[in-house]
Structure 1
Amino acid sequence: MARDQVDLLVDARWLLPMEPAGEVLERHSVAVRAGRICALLSWQEADERFEARERLRLERHALIPGLVNLHTHAAMTLLRGLADDLPLMEWLQEHIWPAEMRFVTPEFVHDGTLLACAEMIQGGITCFNDMYFFPEAAARAVIKAGMRATLGMIVVDFPTPYAADPDDYLSKGLALRDQHRANALLSFCMAPHAPYTVSDKSFEKMLTYAEQIQVPIHVHLHETEEEIRESLRQHGVRPLERLRRLGLLGPGLVAVHMVHLTAEEMELTAHANASVAHCPSSNLKLASGFAPIAQLVERGVNVGLGTDGAASNNRLDLFQEMRTAALLAKAVSGRADALPAHRALEMATLNGARALGLDKAIGSLVPGKRADMVAVDLGPLELSPCYDPRSHLVYAAGREHVSHVWVEGRPLLQDRQFTTLDAKELAARASRWGRRIADARADIRPGGN
């Protein structure tokens, strides 16, 4: 009897499909045809049913869906380590924003985003939700890398090298979306930066567009206590209530950070079916606080994981975020079972896809979905023995154990080697930018020329 033809068969020691929740399949294969998963089946069944153009046997690996980085500023890899150990607003106003005004150009964004793509691919991230200037340059980098991305149509209420005013930001973002609507790897969202940088008028305009073109709204929210105090002073209400009154609190909202929340605000978020992008390492590094993730999850809020930008983390590493999120949830709630490993994995995969409206395409390994997959080697000495791959992926393994990455069945990383990017070229670009930025900062320091 003739066997069905497929493009790719990946045989893994463990397969974690994410749907049903917590399931682990042993010695199973994923069959891929035309970029989509067409079957999950045992090794023996795969032998009997399929003839594959390419077959990969991974005897000691876990195969998982590609990780989804729900919040980052990819191009800021070029500002990594520029100004550390500072409070958020001092870090932004005195260091990051001035550096951006001076250096951020399409070339900066392209090179910084390409560097970020490389780091994320090496760490098993196949999709990221970005918020930054010159998104057209980011799009070029994403296409070159072969990744999947949701690009933010960013708006702030002040001029930058990218745009002159809110209408200019919007028109440029919408034009970019129209240009790339046919690209299955690119999607878009409205990206008002934060309540303290965006006016009511701009929020209302972005909501209108978001509803018309059916895209999420991606915004920093309740990150610091200072942000809340300033909102009370200027608007008479806390930021979440301000957005609720403007109509933004709904299923399309991706609220980033959500550190400082009352019980009522958590209930409102849950009732609205909004999503939260939890960035534990950034929150810790900027001393923003501890987000009440266990309480949000208990209320049914969809929580995904983000790295934030490399300038405030300083890693684009979702393995680190999974582990940190799980440990923090336990410590903050006082319950060891507050965020078990399989839930942390869901936050890094299916929940992130759901927040971006991409869960029908990615986020789990089920027939019909796109073949965005990651193989993690659980065989090294430091990971032996392995009783539960879910536990190992969250508490023991790291991005250095990622061996293979596919997006729509196309390999981006094979045996830890890039297939679409040139590591030496990227390192050279990063080095050039580093020298340029360091020299310019030296010139403006006391005693400089």
Structure 2
Amino acid sequence: MSGLLVGADAVLVCDPDETTLGASAVLIEDGVIAAIGELDGMRATHSDLQVLDGAGCVLLPGWINTHTHLAMNIFRGLTDDVTLEVFLQRSVAAEVDPLTPELVATGVRAALAECLLGGTTGALDMYFFHESAAAHIAHCPASNLKLACGIAPVARMLEEGVDVACGTDGAASAGALDMLQSVRLAALLAKGQTQSPTAIPAYRAIRMATADAARALGWEAVGQIAVGMRADLQLIDLGSAATAPWHDPAARVVYSAGAYDVRHVIVDGAVVVRDRELRTIDVTAALADLQVAADQAAAVVARLAAS
């Protein structure tokens, strides 16, 4: 029998009941979650299978980025600390000039490396898909804050039944394609805006970047950990000095962990990040190519800024 057994000290199912399981294992067969059970029992039953060790980790669905511009990483650092109007003038004009299909591919390859290493397993890239599902709002708090575009009243939207899911926008405007940053900011901004520490609790914020994001994009096979769902998963290490001790894994993910705490990532049943090492993209080569593309973009932005 072939398959993969993924163990973890806790599992965030990301269902509407916000279920948290104790030490558990997930059996993956042919890219699909085939069974979920108590860790020791699953190990004994499936002793012949390869085991992905998640000791000290919480297992949850991979992040789903509902709004991003992957290749805008080429412009990261070139249009910081400017107004929205100046940002748009320079970035949009610059996109027309240097962004050939080859440069877009270069940016996307490096962006995918960043995404996967940070636990993101799905994204709506606005370079290729210029519309989202009409029934949801993509909340990109880092980009909105950095460009001083305002703070969306997300807590009120959720109370009124509006579907809100998390995104990053592009790295040029947000600084990073860090979905955990978006999740944390979604929770913290709601608390500060409403003056209520109970607004958007941690698990609710996680759902905005997993189950809710999948539903917003019409991706019915991902976003939750349940039998029959595709295995797009991440394991976040909660054993570091910044996240210990072990209490309330959802809160530890949102308020304490960082993208660097993602230990393993699984996409469609395949382990693409193992022990923080990306196995599907040559990161060194991707970043070297990105620098070449960014140098070309920098020359265009400098010319536009001087004109």
Query: Letter of the aligned partner of 1:127 in structure 2?
Result: G
| Whole-angstrom CA distance in 1 between matches of 2:43 and 2:183 | 35
| Whole-angstrom CA distance in 1 between matches of 2:303 and 2:139 | 37
Deviations 1:230-287 (A, max 9, x none): xxxxxxxxxxxxxxxxxxxxxx40xxxxxxxxxxxxxxxxxxxx11110111111111
Pairing 1:191-230 to 2, within 5 Å after superposition: 191=130, 217-218=131-132
Residue 24 of structure 2 corresponds to 28
Out of 314, 336, 349, the position equivalent to 2:197 is: 336
Deviations 1:109-157 (A, max 9, x none): 101111110101011000001111xx4xxxxxxxxxxxxxxxx0xxxxx
Deviations 1:213-246 (A, max 9, x none): xxxx42xxxxxxxxxxxxxxxxxxxxxxxxxxxx
Residue 401 of structure 1 corresponds to 261
TM-score by length of 2: 0.96
1:122 partnered with 2:117: yes
Contact 1:35–1:370 (Cα < 8 Å) also in 2? yes
Out of 179, 187, 195, the position equivalent to 1:318 is: 179
Task: Note the C-alpha offset of 1:412.
Answer: 1.1
Task: Note the C-alpha offset of 1:82.
Answer: 1.2
Residue 67 of structure 1 corresponds to 63
Which deviates more, 73-82 or 43-52? 43-52
1:389 partnered with 2:266: no
Contact 2:179–2:209 (Cα < 8 Å) also in 1? yes
Q: Which runs of 5+ in 1 are unaligned?
A: 136-151, 153-190, 192-216, 219-251, 254-273
| Whole-angstrom CA distance in 1 between matches of 2:168 and 2:302 | 29
Task: Note the C-alpha offset of 1:98.
Answer: 1.5
Residue 308 of structure 1 corresponds to 169
Question: After TM superposition, which residue ranges in structure 1, 4 or more long, deviate above 3 angstroms?
Answer: 439-446
SS at match of 1:83: coil
Residue 78 of structure 2 corresponds to 82
Which deviates more, 111-120 or 434-443? 434-443
Structure 1 residues 37, 286: closer, same or farther in 2, change over 3 A? same
Q: With CA pairs under 8 Å and 6+ residues apart, which has the higher RCO, 1 or 2?
A: 2
1:348 partnered with 2:209: yes
Out of 97, 104, 112, the position equivalent to 1:109 is: 104
| Whole-angstrom CA distance in 2 between matches of 1:86 and 1:350 | 35
Task: Note the C-alpha offset of 1:384.
Answer: 1.2
Structure 1 residues 317, 337: closer, same or farther in 2, change over 3 A? same
Residue 427 of structure 1 corresponds to 287
The alignment's C-alpha RMSD in Å is 1.6
Residue 4 of structure 2 corresponds to 8
Contact 1:11–1:43 (Cα < 8 Å) also in 2? yes
Contact 2:140–2:169 (Cα < 8 Å) also in 1? yes
| Whole-angstrom CA distance in 2 between matches of 1:295 and 1:284 | 19
Identity %: 40
Structure 1 residues 131, 385: closer, same or farther in 2, change over 3 A? same
Structure 1 residues 342, 444: closer, same or farther in 2, change over 3 A? closer
Structure 1 residues 20, 45: closer, same or farther in 2, change over 3 A? farther
Query: Letter of the aligned partner of 1:340 in structure 2?
Result: P
Deviations 1:165-190 (A, max 9, x none): xxxxxxxxxxxxxxxxxxxxxxxxxx
| Whole-angstrom CA distance in 1 between matches of 2:211 and 2:108 | 24
Residue 282 of structure 1 corresponds to 143
| Whole-angstrom CA distance in 2 between matches of 1:316 and 1:18 | 22
Structure 1 residues 288, 439: closer, same or farther in 2, change over 3 A? closer
SS at match of 1:64: strand
Task: Note the C-alpha offset of 1:373.
Answer: 0.5
Q: Which runs of 5+ in 2 are unaligned?
A: none
Contact 1:78–1:430 (Cα < 8 Å) also in 2? yes
Query: Letter of the aligned partner of 2:225 in structure 1?
Result: L
Query: Letter of the aligned partner of 2:6 in structure 1?
Result: V
Contact 1:276–1:302 (Cα < 8 Å) also in 2? yes
Task: Note the C-alpha offset of 1:445.
Answer: 6.2
Out of 33, 36, 41, the position equivalent to 1:37 is: 33
SS at match of 1:58: coil
| Whole-angstrom CA distance in 2 between matches of 1:325 and 1:6 | 40
SS at match of 1:85: coil
Query: Letter of the aligned partner of 1:90 in structure 2?
Result: V
Deviations 1:339-372 (A, max 9, x none): 10000000010011000001x2000010000000
Task: Note the C-alpha offset of 1:443.
Answer: 5.5
Task: Note the C-alpha offset of 1:431.
Answer: 1.5
Contact 2:75–2:298 (Cα < 8 Å) also in 1? no
